[in-house]
Amino acid sequence: MPLRRIAHLDMDAFFASVELLRYPQLKGLPVVIGGGRRKVDEMMREQYAELPQGEIPASAFPLLKDYVGRGVITTATYPARQFGVGSAMGMMKAAKLCPQAIVLPVDFDEVRRFSRLFKATIAEIAPVIEDRGVDEVYIDFTDVPGGQREGGRALARLIQRAILEKTGLTCSIGVAPNKLIAKMASEFNKPNGISVLYEADVQAKIWPLPVRKINGIGPKAEVKLAKLHLHTIGDIAAQDREWLVDNFGKSYGAWMHDAAWGRDDRPVVTQSEPVSMSRETTFERDLHAVRDRAELGAIFTDLCKQVAGDLQRKGYVGRTIGIKLRYDDFRIATRDHTIEHFTADAKTIRQVAGQCLKRVPLDRRLRLLGVRVGKLAKLDSPEAQALHAARAPSIAHRAAEPPATFEGTLELF
DNA sequence: TCTGGGGTCCTAGGACCC
DNA sequence: TCTGGGGTCCTAGGACCC
């Protein structure tokens, strides 16, 4: 029996690295990708339209200190990270830490193109791959020829070289007995590094790490653990399983205990079906349900059309239609409704989502509006065929809707 | 001047059925 | 008249991840 060897591969500063391929003159400079509300990229291109992209002087690029608007950093280059700037940080906060950083908007098409390219490159070498978003994958090395050599290091080197050759981009790889440890290991030697771990390494290399390094322990769990005086993964491992269950629940507590001991038997999943598709947008300024009714209505219709378009393009239909809104105080409300027939029709989605909107209080300013379609089925699947109807819910069905009685609710949509 | 957009999974209560 | 339990579906919220 070969030893189970699982790799986690993470592209280094992916979004930023993709931009640096286009603008190599920015190499070594602090660059952040994000925002995009102000079309800085286009402004700059207009001015230097006659120059090839690679020859535009670095001094011509827009700076973070001049950025106005909402948004967060998607990726920061390593020179920018030295200033404390990182993913998910608000643009305004980042501008304080590193005003001289260059800002570029995300180019989703380009990012997706490179994402497909690096994944296809891996697939030629090791076919058992699990997608974890645009810039990450798990790879099962176990049965790949040469996958056991040096605990997986040799194969990891091969994959790194192939990706660099095909894309010009670097990545970091962790190889370990399972996904949980591989994920942590891939962070050990960033960027462009490889880290190989064995079961016996858990105590020395995993236990000293802070609890947040476990994939599945987020900010809330971290706070709760800290209150119980648990700070490192080793601190969790030292607790009785029963004690963890008592404090964190049957499922989460037991999982946490397993995770701290490096136990994880989840397989590498090569195929999966989407559960939901959604579109949402944060407004440039908070909108008021009454004063900005027209604007809000137009955005709402647009979101419905976009989700419908996504479903149709990908060949899916759904039965549960829902809305999400974020108020100016950052509280979130969701409402959804399940209809009899599957749909991917913008008008139907808009109509049902409109009903949902009537059930939610609209007395505060809104920051974000989203539309979601769940309970998906492939358009050509038998269940979808049986229950698909490209028409609005019947009048009878609509009449059965409970009246909108929520206090503060406004009849707007 | 805080804090994006696209997802998954879990929990928990109520309806409804057997 | 009182007393069940199990299962599934729907809905709302929340934690977490990339």
pLDDT, residue A400, reads: 41
Nearest nucleic acid nucleotide to A106, CA to C1' distance: B4
Is the domain of A40 the same as that of A75?
yes
Q: Strand C within 7 Å of which CB atoms in A 92-111?
A: none
Mean local confidence (pLDDT), A47-56: 86
- Asked if residue A324 keeps its beta carbon closer than 7 A to nucleic acid strand C, the reply is no
Per-residue pLDDT reduced to its tens digit, A151-172: 999 999 999 999 999 999 999 9
DSSP annotation of A40 reads H
Q: Does residue A224 fall inside a structural domain?
A: yes
- Asked if residue A408 keeps its beta carbon closer than 7 A to nucleic acid strand C, the reply is no
Nearest nucleic acid nucleotide to A10, CA to C1' distance: C18
Mean local confidence (pLDDT), A116-142: 98
Is the domain of A32 the same as that of A85?
yes
Is the domain of A292 the same as that of A190?
no
Tokens of A9: 């591969």
- For residue A114, the SS3 value is helix
Q: Does residue A152 fall inside a structural domain?
A: yes
Question: Nearest to residue A387, comparing CAs of A349, A350, A344?
Answer: A344
Chain C positions within 7 A of any protein Cβ atom are 9-18
pLDDT, residue A45, reads: 66
Tokens of A374: 């769940």
Is the domain of A96 the same as that of A194?
no
Is the domain of A117 the same as that of A173?
yes
Do A4 and A148 touch, CB atoms closer than 8 A?
no
In angstroms, the CA of A336 and the C1' of B16 are apart by: 20
Report the CATH number at residue A26: 3.40.1170.60
Domain that holds residue A246: 211-260
Largest CA distance in chain A: 68
Q: Does residue A62 fall inside a structural domain?
A: yes
pLDDT, residue A47, reads: 75
Is the domain of A97 the same as that of A177?
no
Share of chain A above pLDDT 90, in %: 84
Residue A83 has pLDDT above 70, yes or no: yes
pLDDT, residue A37, reads: 56
Is the domain of A195 the same as that of A292?
no
pLDDT, residue A86, reads: 94
Nearest nucleic acid nucleotide to A373, CA to C1' distance: B7
Q: Which residues pair with A31 in a beta bridge?
A: A102
Is the domain of A360 the same as that of A402?
yes
Residue A402 has pLDDT above 50, yes or no: no
Residue A80 has pLDDT above 50, yes or no: yes
DSSP annotation of A403 reads P
Q: Which residues pair with A321 in a beta bridge?
A: A337, A373
Mean local confidence (pLDDT), A116-131: 98
pLDDT, residue A111, reads: 96
Per-residue pLDDT reduced to its tens digit, A232-250: 999 999 999 999 999 999 9
Confidence of residue A48 (pLDDT cuts 50, 70, 90): confident
Q: Does residue A77 fall inside a structural domain?
A: yes
The catalytic residue among A136, A187, A199, A280 is A136
Is the domain of A126 the same as that of A40?
no
Report the CATH number at residue A341: 3.30.1490.100
Is the domain of A188 the same as that of A133?
yes
Q: Does residue A250 fall inside a structural domain?
A: yes
Is the domain of A335 the same as that of A388?
yes
Alpha-carbon distance of A54 to A82, in angstroms, equals 25
Q: Does residue A251 fall inside a structural domain?
A: yes
Chain B positions within 7 A of any protein Cβ atom are 1-12
Mean local confidence (pLDDT), A126-146: 97
Residue A128 has pLDDT above 90, yes or no: yes
Report the CATH number at residue A220: 1.10.150.20
Nearest nucleic acid nucleotide to A330, CA to C1' distance: B3
Give chain A's domain count.
Answer: 4
Per-residue pLDDT reduced to its tens digit, A362-394: 999 999 999 999 999 999 998 888 876 544 444
- The strand ranges marked E within A288-360 are 316-327, 332-343
Is the domain of A101 the same as that of A114?
no
Alpha-carbon distance of A93 to A95, in angstroms, equals 5
Q: Does residue A267 fall inside a structural domain?
A: no
Mean local confidence (pLDDT), A104-113: 93
Mean local confidence (pLDDT), A65-79: 91
Q: Which of A106, A128, A159 is the last residue of a domain?
A: A106
Confidence of residue A36 (pLDDT cuts 50, 70, 90): low
Report the CATH number at residue A138: 3.30.70.270
| pTM for this predicted structure | 0.92
Q: Does residue A324 fall inside a structural domain?
A: yes
In angstroms, the CA of A51 and the C1' of C16 are apart by: 44
* A242 noted as active-site residue: no
